[in-house]
Amino acid sequence: MFIYSVAVLLIVAVANGQDCHPDNGCCWLGGWCGSGATDDCVNGRWDYNVGCVPYHQDCCLPNTPPTDPPSPDPTSNTTAPLETDPPLPDCDIRNECCLVGGTCGDAAFDECPGGTWEYGLRCVPFTKTCCIGQITLPPPGPTTTRDPSITYPPLNLTDCGERPAMPALNPKIQIVGGETVVPHSWPWAVELRFDYFNWNDWRHHCTGTLIHPQYAITAGHCIAKSNADGIHQFRVVLGSHDQNNPDGLEVISELEQAFVHEDYSTSIPGSPNDIALLKLDEPVELSNRIGIACLPGYKDQVFSPTDNCWIAGWGETLGTSQQNVLTEAKLNITTNEECDYKWETGSGRVNLIKPEHICIGNGFPGACNGDSGGPLVCEKEGKWIVAGATSFGAAGCQSWNAPNVYTRVSYYIDWIREKMNQT
């Protein structure tokens, strides 16, 4: 993410009858910005990949995609600006596609002559997708078939919560403001991708945790607030690290079922029961890049500030580190009493934290948009146990005295087992 001068930030253009800041891709698409965790996206769905101004907010897009302006000439290396857009140089600093020699167009209707649509590069206007040509790209995406010439040391598949041999963990790295993880060092971290318009345009939506070769957990709001037509719009990517540069050894799994907790609600302070269980269409093969985290042993299992606990996710880094790669942070558990006090004194919200929540850190460093549903794991007797799934945090992702709030997985251990036994 780039930092702009005040003069640039004050530029405003008009789109869809609204005054739209040039960086507000949500506005250009006819949407509005709010909180995907606490607000309702009426007659629409939350798109966590479309930029908002301010940047910490989420984009609510209408269910019917807007009509785009005419596509630019695919043979040109510059993007034709909207008539109402401020004048742009040959390569606007925001136009990542142009900067790497690509052109912006409509991936659903336009051809990408001799090239590939690259969804990880930003275009101007933000409604467009980047066509990269005459550049050698990584393999076209994850597949379910592994290259037999590349082997990885197998794990003991009778055990959960084991990490492959990796360099020592660096406790200074952060999800917001730090560095990336050693690839596949958290083998149970999975991507949840969403096809927003049923155009086979798969975007990162949330993070999750693999707890069984055929089951993963994530946040309930990742499913319930998506306004998806069905589970066919979701898929899980396992063994991933860099979303923009897949190595071809990732595994894509469709969903057979998705269970959102029956009592999940955003009308109750704290949005309790924010958990979902995902059943993959078939079990995945475990290795040192795809593994499972241990579930808590019982409902009242205690996780304390002295435990060795980490969070991970592919969410927003606010421009302070490389985007679209898995990042991590070592944080201390915050007791529910202290967490509730900090949220009440900081935001005025009373009785926000419930027994089914578990809090970590102090707000910064911490999780951000796109980390929803991701793992909070703690080491117990040499095993990594999933203690929480990312639920919500303070707007801006960098607030002090506002600990990150996770769904306490141990509280739902009976519910998880019940759902797994039903299928």
Amino acid letter, 295: L
Q: Closest Cα partner for 100 from 115, 111, 86?
A: 115
Q: Supply 372's token pair.
A: 């929803």
Query: In the 8-state DSSP scheme, what is residue 308?
Result: E
Contact 254, 230 (CB under 8 A): no
CA distance 345 to 92: 43
Q: In terms of DSSP H, where are the helices of 267-372?
A: 336-347
Strand order in the sheet with 357-360: 327-330, 308-313, 375-380, 383-392, 404-408, 357-360, 333-334
Q: Closest Cα partner for 25 from 99, 128, 101?
A: 128
Amino acid letter, 135: I
List active site positions. 221, 274, 372
Q: Closest Cα partner for 225 from 201, 192, 188?
A: 192
DSSP output for 262-277 = TT--SSSTT-----EE
Q: In terms of DSSP H, where are the helices of 77-219?
A: 96-99
